[in-house]
Amino acid sequence: MTKLIIFTDLHMVPEGMTIIGIDPYRRLANGIAHVNRFHADADRVIFAGDLAHYADRASYQRLKDLLSELIPPAAIMIGNHDRREVFLDVFTNAATDEGGFVQQTIDFADCRAVLLDTLFAPPYEYPTSHAGHLCERRLDWLDRQLDGAGERPVLLFMHHPPHASGFAGIDMIRLINEEEFYRLVKRHGNVRHIFAGHVHRTISGSSRGIPFSIFKSPVHQQPMPFDIADASLSVDEPAAYGIAVVTADGVLVHTEDYEIASRDAVVA
C-alpha cells in the first residue's frame, strides 16, 4: 500500500518575517518533525506548491535547508506564489519535464503519481498569474503520462483545483482551462483521484465523476464565508497535512491537524 504525505501552500518567508503573525518556518518544521515521528515509512512527501510567499531566493533556501531534515523522500511542485526560474535556481535537482516545467511522474507498485505544474507564468502579472493553466505542451505531456500508466491507477497532483471550490474569490483564480483538462482526463479513464491545494481549506468531493481532495496549509487558512470575492483573506487555524493511502479497493484520504493532534487514547 503506497502511502503519500501531502503538504501544500507552505508560504515560506525570509527569516524574521511572519504572515498574519504566524511563522511559516516554525509551522512547517513542526510538520516535518511530526511526519518523521509518525510517518517515516511514507513512500513520498509531496509539497504541492506555493512554496515561498514572495518567491524570493532566501525563502527557497530556508525551505531547502528545512527539507533536508525530512526522513522520507520528497517530491516538489510549484504554485502561483512561486517563480519557476528562481525555484529551479535554488532547487537545482528538482525534477522537470523536457520543456522545463516542474512536473514529474513517479511509479509505485500499485499506482502512478503524476505531479503537474499549473503555474500560469511568466509573465508574473497579478491577477492573471495567480490563476492556474495547463498549456498545450503540458497537456501533451499529461496525455503521454496517462497513456503510459498501463494497469496502474493514476493519482493526479496539481496546485490549482481544476474546478470550483465554492469560494468566490479563489474560484476566480482556479485552473482556467478546466474543460480541456477534464476532456483529456476522462478520455483516458484511469485517474482515480485528484489532489490539489491553493484554497487553504479541507475540501473533498467529486467533479465529472472523479474524486478529489483539497488540503489546508501548514500556515494560514481560508475563512469559511463562500461569497467573498477577496482571495487574499486569511485566518489563523490549526496547521495540517494530508495522508493518502492506496489500497486494493481504492484510495483512503486523511487530514492530520498535526499541531493539535493527540496520540494518547482516553477511555470514555
Q: What is the pLDDT of residue 127?
A: 83
Tell me if 95 sits within 8 A of 114, measured CB to CB.
no
Is the pTM value of this prediction over 0.75? yes
Single-letter residue type at 55: A
Q: What is the pLDDT of residue 99?
A: 95
Single-letter residue type at 231: A
Cβ neighbourhood burial of 86 (10 Å; 0-12, 13-18, 19+) = middle
Q: What is the pLDDT of residue 263?
A: 66
Cα-Cα-Cα-Cα torsion 244, 245, 247, 251, nearest 10 degrees, comes to: -10
Domain locations in the chain as residue ranges: 3-256
Inter-CA distances, 157 with 194, 198, 227, Å:
6, 12, 27
CATH topology of domain 3-256: Purple Acid Phosphatase; chain A, domain 2 (3.60.21)
Q: What is the pLDDT of residue 79?
A: 97
Residues of the chain with pLDDT under 70: 263-268
Pick the closest to residue 156 from 74, 254, 46, 237 (CA basis): 46
Q: What is the pLDDT of residue 126?
A: 84
